[in-house]
Amino acid sequence: MNEQHRVVIIGGGFGGLSAAKKLKKAPVKVTLIDRRNFHLFQPLLYQVATGALSPADISSPLRGILKKAKNVQVLMAEVTDIDPTTHEVVMGENRIAYDSLIIATGVRHHYFGNDQWETYAPGLKTIEDATHIRQRILSAFERAELENDLQKRKALLTFVVVGAGPTGVELAGAISEIAHLTLKDNFRNINPADAQVLLVEGVDRVLPTYPDNLSAKALNTLQSHHIEVRTKTIVTDIQAGQVTLKQGDQSEIIEAETVLWAAGVLASPLGRLLAEKVGATLDRFGRVMVQADLTLPGHPEIFIIGDLAHFEQAGKLLPGVAQVAMQGGSYAAQVIQKRLQGELSEKPFHYSNFGNLATIGWSAAVADLPFRIRLWGFIGWLFWVFVHLMKMVEFENRVIIFVQWVFNYFTRNRSARLITNGFHTVYDTEKLNVEEKEQE
Amino acid sequence: MNEQHRVVIIGGGFGGLSAAKKLKKAPVKVTLIDRRNFHLFQPLLYQVATGALSPADISSPLRGILKKAKNVQVLMAEVTDIDPTTHEVVMGENRIAYDSLIIATGVRHHYFGNDQWETYAPGLKTIEDATHIRQRILSAFERAELENDLQKRKALLTFVVVGAGPTGVELAGAISEIAHLTLKDNFRNINPADAQVLLVEGVDRVLPTYPDNLSAKALNTLQSHHIEVRTKTIVTDIQAGQVTLKQGDQSEIIEAETVLWAAGVLASPLGRLLAEKVGATLDRFGRVMVQADLTLPGHPEIFIIGDLAHFEQAGKLLPGVAQVAMQGGSYAAQVIQKRLQGELSEKPFHYSNFGNLATIGWSAAVADLPFRIRLWGFIGWLFWVFVHLMKMVEFENRVIIFVQWVFNYFTRNRSARLITNGFHTVYDTEKLNVEEKEQE
């Protein structure tokens, strides 16, 4: 009986959520598994990392989004194994059977074999990454205010962003804005505008996946925002308080207390599990090679969508963006429904690119749209604001973000600039407690 | 010269901030020291703990609030010592000299000698406490959805709040609302409304500091919100998953995965430091006994204000509420200014009580106001909403909170119900990573 067809979706990001929504009226039983209880609107994560928005502003509880989809169950759990012979997904002691499986667990950041850099140069993928980066950036200014040694103070006010893709460009733009606008008049010993922001990119231009002329526009905007851009430059070492850059044969050590990593991604460990269990082929970033219908060879019941999938269209790898994941999720859901109706010949997946957008601080953005339409500067930014507000999952979040942005725009404020979960100062925070205990 | 008079304020809560603001036009140099970079609007902290608001909604960066007060410097640092002979405050390796010192470091929660209970029964004083409690409450429902053992499921859906003062009443009310309204239709295996909320109080009524008839109104409202209230009941033990209650001679063990502590406070460790360094007298909760002008005996230059101070008015100890702290800060600032003008005979501090308010879930509150005006129910709640919005420090926060509350009120939603910083399931989250490493 059709009603018993069980679809299990792993991952509640753009891909998994889009599949679940598409299936909500289908005669199937859906289980959506995620480690987190919320869907994250990742394109605005850099705004949390830079104190403009709160974590909850860009997150929606998965259960809330799907509460009216009575055939969908949400489980907050970590998938520990997949058994392709019994068709089961394993979550610790629990197991759940599937007839169709959609895997959409995405990617995390990656240090190209230099995992020890993570301690000094955090990347931005999760909400915790964002609040950690926020803490690092804000603490650097706080520590600089207390620092009397001028060289140490300079290192505290030097920010290096590695990687000039959209995330790197957005982070660098936001840090420059914090220094020049948000924190203006906030300090008495330092001038936050003395901060130096460096954006480092291995290839010869910023936003390398965008058309040449938009890269050039973006470079101009970055420079007018006081950001020093170093292209054709790679990072050869990162240690506490310093990063080593190499351009051609020239090496340079930069003293910087804050280094942020926006340079590389690696597929989620579920890719490795699939390679082991069903012989899936992985590319060098751990992404799973999929067929024209997004399934695994020999496993028409297993779909891989979103950032985790390696899918080429017209000879080009599809990028790891929300649109690709959402269209993939929707496509997989459709294929499953058609199969249940007896239609077995599927049209291959085709990605329709509706455009790419990246901001550089308040009031500037670049947009690469269909029909060779390209926007930049303030017009590009207004378009960016409109698209992002429209795409927000919950109507409520949209209103809150709009109010916050209007305030931020006119006041240059960032009200979510909290340093939480411990603070980074040069002081020994335990001292007083220790002394107290010694008295007892 | 008057302009050189140095005022150091320790603590950026209601007391310290109120003193700093009052001094912003005075001919003095002010340094405000806090461990955090923000002022916290503590009366709404329970709303963060229960997912209705985000941390940033009830926090304002201290530097932002004081940026126009050019004579005020904010330092984010931990005070490690006070030297009354050299008149210096020590922060690790840094020292700062004072002519007048205002100490407003407040209290933290306290387990009456049972510190081991803290692991199982967190208290609510900081932003991190609030996000931790939020994680505990929400994870309990998530784990219950995955739990097949009915007894364990019941323990996961049992919530015990210890202490029926304003915080305990507010927490219990909010948890009941999460179970009955917010999470309605969100689960497939459990019914969140099956959750049991217990409110435990040692004395014979809830809100013991309020007039009798308001306590009775509050009890009625709590019971109509499905909350089981146990008065004259004390906690004798707390362990993982269970709490032991004692009423008269009767002991009872309650299986509960979530126990929250709202029962006691202890003064900040700076009180002990003052006892040691300047011979200050402490009461049994570590609060510092102060003179009629809020100073220490023999040290007219040291003021203790807010929750840290033990001050009796008409034979009654002043309560640890925002109003007392703000009036204390303002008073200390005035005394300092008058002394600089040569006025040495001060009027003693006098607290004007403008009323006390406590909510019980959405749309019910009790208010104990001057002239024996007492409000309750929906009218009490409207008054509570009005007062709290007006009191919010930043205009922007006020608008955001208002929008959020309007949405929350009509949708019964709590959009900030994120589980962050690790999640509590029965599963071993490291498993997959471990397996991965073993393959390498």
Q: Report the pLDDT value the prediction gives residue A378, as an integer from 0 to 100.
A: 86
Write the residue in A75, A186, A436 that is nearest to B63 by C-beta: A186
What CATH number does the domain located at A115-263 have? 3.50.50.100
The answer for B412, left when phi > 0, alpha when psi is -120 to 50, beta otherwise, is: left
The predicted pLDDT at position A437 comes to 33
**What are the boundaries of each domain within chain B?**
2-35+77-109+266-340, 115-263
| A91, burial (CB in 10 Å: exposed 0-12, middle 13-18, buried 19+) | buried
Distance from CA of A358 to the nearest CA of B (A): 26
Chain B residue with Cα closest to A40? B418
The residues in A 274-303 lying below 8 A from B, measured between CB atoms, are 276
* pLDDT band at residue A105 using 50, 70 and 90 as cut-offs: very high
Query: Measured on CA atoms in the order A373, A374, A379, A383, is the torsion positive or negative?
Result: positive
CB of A346 less than 8 A from some CB of B: no
Q: Give pLDDT, residue B420.
A: 76
Q: Say yes or no for a CB contact (<8 Å) between A416 and B63.
A: no
Q: Which of B81, B91, B188 sits opposite A73 (nearest CB)?
A: B188
Residues lower than pLDDT 70 in chain B: 1-3, 395, 421-440
Domains B2-35+77-109+266-340 and B115-263 share a fold: yes
Residue A61 contacts B where some CB pair is shorter than 8 Å:
yes
Least confident residue range of A288-302, A339-353, B123-137, B140-154: A339-353
- Residue B168 and residue B263 in contact, taking contact as beta carbons nearer than 8 Å: yes
B435 belongs to the catalytic site: no
Residue A427 has pLDDT above 60, yes or no: no
Give residue A296's pLDDT: 96
pLDDT of residue A403: 80
A400 touches chain B (CB under 8 A): yes
pLDDT at residue A439 in the model: 33
- Cβ within 8 Å, pair B76-A421: no
Alpha helices in A57-158 (DSSP H): 62-65, 127-146, 150-156
Provide the pLDDT for residue B422: 52
Spatial CB neighbours of B417, under 8 Å, sequence gap ≥ 6: A37, A38, A61, A64, B51, B134, B138, B178, B182
Cα nearest neighbour of A430 on chain B = B80
Say what the pLDDT of residue B435 is.
32
Compute the distance between CA of residue B37 and CA of residue B24 in angstroms, rounded to an integer: 19
Read off the pLDDT of each residue in A81-94 and give the average, rounded to a whole number: 94
pLDDT at position A396 over 80: no
Residue by residue, DSSP assigns A294-338 as SEETTEEEEEE-GGGEE-EETTEEPPSSHHHHHHHHHHHHHHHHH
Nearest one of A264, A280, A369, A275 to A320, comparing CA atoms:
A264
A80 and chain B: CB distance < 8 Å anywhere? Answer: yes
Catalytic residue among B3, B142, B145, B170, which?
B170
Alpha-carbon torsion (A50, A404, A169, A353), positive or negative? positive
CB-closest option in A146, A403, A420 to B94: A146
B405 chain-A contacts, CB cut-off 8 A: none
In what side-by-side order are the strands of the sheet with A233-239? A233-239, A242-247, A250-255
Query: Measured between CB atoms, does A440 come within 8 Å of chain B?
Result: no
B396 CB near a chain A CB, below 8 Å?
yes
Which residues sit opposite B159 in a β-bridge?
A: B197, B258
Q: Give residue A421's pLDDT.
A: 65
Å between B110 CA and nearest CA of chain A: 15
Please judge whether A413 and B436 are an interchain contact, meaning their C-beta atoms are less than 8 angstroms apart.
Answer: no
- Report in angstroms the alpha-carbon separations of A7 from A4, A11, A101, A344, A366: 9, 13, 6, 17, 39
Q: Which tens digits make up the pLDDT trace of A149-201? A: 999 999 999 999 999 999 999 999 999 999 999 999 999 999 999 999 999 99
Bigger pLDDT: A355 or A142? A142
What pLDDT, on a 0 to 100 scale, did the predictor assign at position B195? 97
Residue B217: closest CA among B371, B381, B355: B381
**Is the predicted pLDDT of residue A356 greater than 90, yes or no?**
no
Size of interface A-B (CB pairs under 8 A): 207
What is the reported pLDDT for A376?
Answer: 87
Nearest to B123 by CA among B106, B112, B111, B113: B111
Mean pLDDT of A63-84: 95
CB contact under 8 A, B54 and A55: yes
CATH number, span B2-35+77-109+266-340 = 3.50.50.60
B176 or A377: which leads in pLDDT: B176
Query: What's the Cα-to-Cα distance from B153 to each of A235, B144, B174, B438, rounded to whole Å?
Result: 51, 5, 21, 34
Q: For chain A, what is the mean pLDDT? A: 89
Q: For residue A422, what pLDDT is reported?
A: 52
